Amino acid sequence: MKPRIIVTRRWPAVVERILAERFDTTLNAGDIPLTPTQLKAAFLNFDAILPTVSDKLPASVFPDGDVRTKLIANFGVGFSHIDLGASRQRGIAVTNTPGVLTDCTADIAMSLLLAVARRTGEGERQLRAGEWAGWCPTHMIGTKLSGKTLGIIGMGRIGKAVAKRAHFGFDMKIVFFNRSWVEDDQICAMAANQVPTIEDVLAQSDFVSLHCPGGAENRHLIDAPRIAAMKHAGFLINTARGDVVDQDALIDALENRVIAGAGLDVFAEEPLVPERLMQLENVVLLPHLGSATEETRVAMGMKAVENLTAFFDGRPMPDKVA
């Protein structure tokens, strides 16, 4: 008998076909997020649950007592939305999909950096509204990237990929903070400077890009005092997790021009985006597009397939996180 699995949202069609061939698969054809009640029922009725980063799996959705589920194969790198303590308590393994969305997420970070610096979102809105009066020397003046300093908080795969694009593509200087020491050929080639504190990054950088994991450990890592420590003409880019930034403090800072602007692909309570944030012109907002390319989303799905297959074959899972 094939293991019974449930996929909580629509996945790329090619991945869904493979899942349907290998497993007794329940798909979400309507792509409507499951309710907490439905998620709790899934633990009782399926051998594996395949959630996405938008599915909240706190301790409250894990049923008390015995559960049927033995694996949560997450579609995404981040797993702060899953209560790992609750999964361990019930003997449920958890996997993720690392290593395949690095380049695409780095591209989005650079897109945000360029867009907020050169005010392209404002420009397009003005043009589409029929408000452009023609070229003039003082129209919509932005900020140059070349020669500026990019600060990176979290120099993992994605942080390095962003640094590489910024340094070699735009001749930007790189400073970074990472909790562990980072020294390799990439860092040396970019002459990237690792500094001891986040405050050092904020003080030196014209642009600050966040590439650290979410969850309780990093919640509001960038808070009001740290935003105030940035350069007045600085820009904050977040493609990591929404809860890494104190969203209210950021909105206050943007409204009061404490910093020049921000580019955000993630938000504290997705898909909700505060109206105050949407009213601001000095912020570029994207609907969590970091990994949104056909190649990457298929690769993420295939990572989940590999983890599922290994688990039910009794082999070590390549991407086990708990």
Q: Which two tokens stand for residue 44?
A: 């009782």
Residue 177: half-sphere exposure toward Cβ, Cα within 13 Å: 18
- % of the chain exceeding 90 in pLDDT: 97
Q: Residue 211: what pLDDT?
A: 98
For range 155-180, the mean pLDDT: 98
The predicted-structure confidence for 171-230, as pLDDT tens digits, reads as follows 999 999 999 999 999 999 999 999 999 999 999 999 999 999 888 899 999 999 999 999
Q: Is 262 helix (H, G, I), strand (E, B) or coil?
A: strand
Task: Respond yes or no: is residue 217 known to be catalytic.
Answer: no
Asked if the model's pLDDT at residue 273 lies above 90, the reply is yes
pLDDT in tens, 107-147: 999 999 999 999 999 999 999 999 999 999 999 999 999 99
From the candidates 10, 22, 157, 288, give the one annotated as an active-site residue. 288
Check pLDDT > 90 for residue 240.
yes
Q: How far apart are CA 320 and CA 311, in angstroms?
A: 10
Mean pLDDT of 84-98: 97
pLDDT at position 214: 85
Q: Which of 124, 255, 269, 270 is catalytic?
A: 270
Q: Do domains 4-100+294-312 and 102-285 have the same CATH topology?
A: yes
Strands of the sheet containing 71-73, edge to edge, are: 24-26, 4-7, 48-50, 71-73, 93-95
Q: Which pLDDT value is given to residue 216?
A: 87
Where do the structural domains in the chain lie, given as residue ranges? Answer: 4-100+294-312, 102-285
Is 81 designated active site?
Answer: no
Q: Which of 81, 119, 211, 241 is catalytic?
A: 241
Residue 146 has a CB neighbour count (10 Å cut-off) of: 9
270 noted as active-site residue: yes
Q: How confident is the model at residue 296 (pLDDT cuts 50, 70, 90)?
A: very high
User: What is 102-285's CATH topology?
Assistant: Rossmann fold (3.40.50)
Tens of pLDDT, residue by residue over 4-54, are: 999 999 999 999 999 999 999 999 999 999 999 999 999 999 999 999 999
Short-list 128, 295, 151, 291, CA closest to 209: 151
pLDDT at 215: 85
Domain 4-100+294-312, architecture per CATH: 3-Layer(aba) Sandwich (3.40)
